Structure formats: C-alpha cells, structure tokens
Chain A
C-alpha cells in the first residue's frame, strides 16, 4: 500500500515540477492534468471513491478544458521573454518567492505531525455522503453554490458585449 502511495506522490510531484519548467503553456496545462489525475488516484488510494471520481470529473474533465481554452484564446506570439527585464526586478521576484517558500515551509515544519495507528476506516457509501451534504452541511453547500453563481454572473458581465463600441457589435 505504501509503495502505491510513493508511486502516486512521485507522479504528482514530477508532473507538477515538469509543468513549472515547461516553456510551452499547452504542455504545462497537460502536465497539470496528469498531476490532478494523480491526486484523484490518491483519493482512491485513501478509499474515498466519491471524492476521487469527482476530482477526475471536475479537474481532468472540466477545469482542464477551461485552462486549455483560455491558453488557446489568449496565446500571443510564439515566444514570451524568458529573462526578467532588469536585475532589480529579478531580485524582487526572488525575494517574494523566497518569502512565500519560507512561510510555507515554516508552517509545515511548525505543524506537529501526530502519527497514530488508525483502525481501517469503514467504507462510506455515496448515500451517506449525500445525506451528510444535504443534512448537516446543507448551509455550506448552498453558500458554495451561491458564490459559484455570483462568480459565473460576474464572468458573463465582464465578457459581455459592449454595445457602445462599434468593434464589438455582433
């Protein structure tokens, strides 16, 4: 079981690292899809069938499409400048990235890791998840739905055609 976890972790980490290093945006996006699928594999490994399939459906199926669509529609030119424009800018970027890494690693190292032997969790059926979502967590679910709807309407408003501008006329 641990071997499977190590393989999954390697897949996710390698794909994410490769996605960061790729120059081609499309390759990065496709490598991220591999990383997302690996995370879904981790959910399946942990016995959370529902979360695993939902992860594949949402991330591999839908989010990846939106990312690829955005990349295809906004791609400008073939080669983006790779080097920072000035030394000061590069140093600032390094400082920000270093600060972020420091905060993240500090948090991870400061969090106590409690290891204890757990009894194997009893398998949760989809029905139980549904009842829990619709009962105990109904308010949270509604709020999430509301936020997503607001985001969707906002996106439509931003993307909508401006009738005053003759170039945008359909």
Chain B
C-alpha cells in the first residue's frame, strides 16, 4: 500500500486494506499474483451482481414503460409465499441458462462458434482494468489508460462477426455485416468525442482525468467536464456513440429481434447465449464507466460537503443512473434503419465531433479569460458547436419531414 493511499479516510481505503490483509498470510513471492487475482475477483463479483440486477431492473422498467408489471412472480425456493417483487428472477434465469441444452448447427464452423462467446466476454471485461472506481480503487494505473480502454473494446464487434459468420445462417451473417458497418461508423465519433477532454486534462491516464475535474466553481458547482460547452456536446456525442457501440436500442441493428430474429444470436442457446447477454451488459457498464470518468467527474462528489460518502459509492450511483437512462432510451426510441444509422454517424456525428475538437482547442487556449471575458469565452465556445449543429441539421433535414401514413380510408 502506497503512502497516499494510507493517508485517505478509512472507508476510502477499506477495500485495499482488506485485500492487503488477506494477502499478508501468503509468502512474499505469491503476494503480487494473489493481490491482482483478488482485485479481478472483486470486479467480477461486483459487476456480475450489478449485471444480474440490471436484467431484472430493465425488464421491470420496460414493463412499466409499456404499461405492464414485468416479472414479479419468482419467489424464494425455501420460503413459500415470499415474492420480494420477483427480485430473484435473474438467479432463476441463470439456472435455466446453465441447464439448457447447447445446440450447435450441423453446418456451423464449430471452433469459431465456440470461440465467439468466449472472446466477446473476455474483451468486454478487459476495459475494467483501467477504470478508476474510487479514489484508491483502480486496477492498473496505465499512462495510456484511455487508449488501452479503446484498444480493449474494439475486438467485441470482431467476436460478433465471428458468431454471425460461424453460425451459417443467413440472418446471422446479415447481423455480422451490420455489426461491422456499425463499428466502423461509430468508433470514430466515440474516440473523437473524448479527445477534447484529453486536450483539457493534458493526459491519457484515467485517474489523472478524474483528478483534473476536482474543485468547485462559485463555491458549489462541480468542475466536471460536462459543465462546459464542449464537454456537454462531447458527452452527448459520446452517449449516442456508446449506445451504438454496445448494440443497445435504438442501435440494436445486429440483434433486431423483429427483422433478423436476434441476428448473430439466432443459433446460440443455453450458456453461450447467456455469455453474449452478459458481455453486452458488461460492455455497456464499461462504456458508461468511461463516460462517467471522462465527463461526469468520475468518483468525485456532486456537491461540496458530500465528500464523506466513499468515492466508489458515487461512482456506483452515477453508473446506476446512466444504466437507468439507457433503459429509458430503450423504452422510448424506435430502432433505426441501417442507412439512417450510417448516415447519422458520417454526416452528422463525425463533423460535429470534429467541430467539438476545435472547440476543445479554443477552450484550452483561453484559460486566462476571466471576469466579463469568461462570458465571451462561454458564448464563443457554445457558438462553435451550436452553429454547425444547426447548419448540418438543417442541411440534412431538407426535403425530409414527418410523413403521414393513411392506413384506412
């Protein structure tokens, strides 16, 4: 344990203390290895549990959005009559997934068909290594942490391609093509949207980016990057791209239950299907965690005086809010068509992300503007992003409008 960790309040360093206390029983040579393994187990346990309860939360929230109760019957096996609002549903689902028969199509590419779910889960877990969950809780403090995160995340779509191609199913291969097109389109705005933050913070290290958002303006407003014109625009671009990257509605084209009968998942059953399902949520959590780290102040408290709450709880709270937001989006928006999807990225998000990059440079060049000049700084910065937004939006919207369908006369 390093000196700056020891200086933190007890609750902040409690997880690290616990790990060190457990490791201390082992011989010197094994301590490093077992310490790392314990961190991995902790991350898996926390986010696995979060995954289990997100599935039930999603089903219940979507149920409420669609004016139905959602799953509410599953009780506890040894207590008759106790239902707990169906909260044990995910565990029943897990038992079902594990005990189901594993069906592999006769014409499938057996090796790739098996490797795809393994790869997708492995790569969606890699990103957690560099996310700072709390003041002292970060798996690996890499100098190029942000770059590592994106590098780790790119291979998940490759796994979706493997799944779609190896299934030997027309629907699955369509899903694979869509997944590739989606990845090529949305990787660019996703990465471009966080570049202004790198310019502002002057580092690619995620803990340092969180630290750069500390402090309060006017005594109570947190100095998170989202509360600047370029940060707000960047966060919105990031949100849209993150939705597309994690194949969430309204960008769930590779899956598309109603047109592709679940696309790359068509030929998967039982535990392999569960692995895909898990990887999708874990990838979503990781991307949400990156958004929180980069734009929403990471583990920083939202108001002064609230810092007595341990930092990892703030991170978790923000993560839960983000996930609820994504569920809300899923219940609200309709799925895009593939041409609308690619057009949205290349003609709208990429130019806006480039304008926002210039915006971030402008902000980084004018840190000395204070007093009335600060207002000018805000106005110029807001104009740099809003003017292209309106112009591109008008240009793309020309000749398009609400269409009226008449189904019966």
A interface vs B, CB < 8 Å?
A: 26-27, 30, 33, 40, 49-50, 53-54, 56-57, 60-62, 64-66, 68-69, 72, 123, 125-127
Cβ of A69 and Cβ of B180 under 8 Å apart? yes
Q: Which residues of A contact B177 (CB under 8 A)?
A: 69, 72
Contact partners of B162 in chain A: CB under 8 A: 30
> In the complex the two chains form, what is the Cα distance from A140 to B265 in whole Å?
46
Are A65 and B144 touching (Cβ within 8 A)? no
Beta-carbon nearest neighbor of B161 in chain A: A68
Q: A27-B112, A57-B154, A123-B143 are in contact. List 9 more A-B contacts (CB 8 A).
A: A54-B151, A61-B150, A61-B151, A61-B154, A65-B180, A66-B184, A68-B158, A69-B180, A69-B184
Q: Are A62 and B180 in contact (CB under 8 A)?
A: no
8 A Cβ contacts from B56-98 to A: none
Docked CA distance A50–B198 (Å): 15
> Is B203 touching A127 in the complex (CB atoms < 8 A)?
yes
Contact A26 B165, CB 8 Å, known A49-B142, A56-B154, A64-B158: yes
Given contacts A56-B151, A57-B147, A60-B154, contact A65 B183 (CB under 8 A): yes
Q: Is B202 a contact of A65 with CB atoms below 8 Å?
A: no
Taking CB atoms, residues of chain A closer than 8 Å to B150 are 53, 57, 61
Chain A binding site: helix, strand, loop or mixed by DSSP?
helix
| Residue B157 at the chain A interface, CB threshold 8 Å | yes
In the bound assembly, the distance between CA atoms of A126 and B202 in angstroms comes to 10
B162: nearest chain-A partner, CB-CB: A30
Q: Which residues of A sit under 8 angstroms from B20, Cβ to Cβ?
A: none
Q: How many residues of B contact A (CB 8 A)?
A: 27
Q: Do B144 and A61 have beta carbons less than 8 Å apart?
A: no
Contact with A along B167-178 (1 / 0, CB 8 A): 000000100110
Contact A53 B165 (CB under 8 A): no
Decide if B143 touches A126 in the complex (CB within 8 Å). Answer: yes
Report the Cα distance A68→B165, complex, angstroms: 10
Given contacts A30-B162, A56-B151, contact A50 B183 (CB under 8 A): no
Interfacial chain B residues near A53, Cβ < 8 Å = 144, 147-148, 150-151
Contact check: which of B112, B151, B184, B203 meets A65 at CB < 8 Å? B184
The reply to whether B154 and A62 contact each other, CB–CB distance below 8 Å, is yes
Residues of B within 8 A of A49 (CB): 142-144
What's the Cα separation between A93 and B202 when bound, in Å? 53
Q: Complex: how many Å from CA A68 to CA B183? A: 12
Q: Indicate if B155 sits at the interface (CB-CB under 8 A).
A: yes
In the complex, B204 has a CB within 8 A of chain A = yes
The answer, yes or no, to whether B17 is at the interface (CB within 8 Å) is: no
CB distance from A170 to the nearest CB of B (A): 10
Contacts of A126 in B (CB 8 A): 143-144, 147, 203-204
A64 to B151, CA, bound (A): 13
Give every chain B residue within 8 A of A65 (Cβ-Cβ): 157-158, 161, 180, 183-184
Distance to closest chain B CB from A7 (angstroms):
18
A22, chain B: closest CB distance, angstroms: 12
Cα separation A54 to B148 with both chains bound (whole Å): 8
Neighbouring B residues of A62 by C-beta, 8 Å? 154, 184, 187
Q: Which residue of A lies closest to B202 (CB)?
A: A127
Q: Name which residue of chain B comes closest to A33, CB basis.
A: B158
Give the chain B neighbours of A27 by CB distance below 8 A: 112
**What CA separation (Å) do A54 and B154 show in the bound complex?**
11
B180 touches A61 (CB 8 A): no
Distance in angstroms between the alpha carbons of A126 and B209 in the assembled complex? 14
Closest B residue, CB atoms, query A49? B144
What separation, in Å, do the CA atoms of A166 and B176 have in the docked complex? Answer: 30
A61 contacts B147, C-beta separation under 8 Å: no
- Which among B143, B151, B162, B165 has the highest number of chain A CB atoms within 10 Å? B151
**Docked-complex contact A30 and B112, CB < 8 angstroms:** yes
Sampled A-B contacts (24; CB under 8 Å): A33-B158, A49-B142, A49-B143, A50-B147, A53-B144, A53-B147, A53-B148, A53-B150, A54-B147, A60-B158, A61-B150, A61-B155, A61-B158, A61-B183, A64-B158, A65-B158, A68-B161, A68-B180, A69-B177, A72-B176, A72-B177, A72-B180, A123-B143, A126-B144
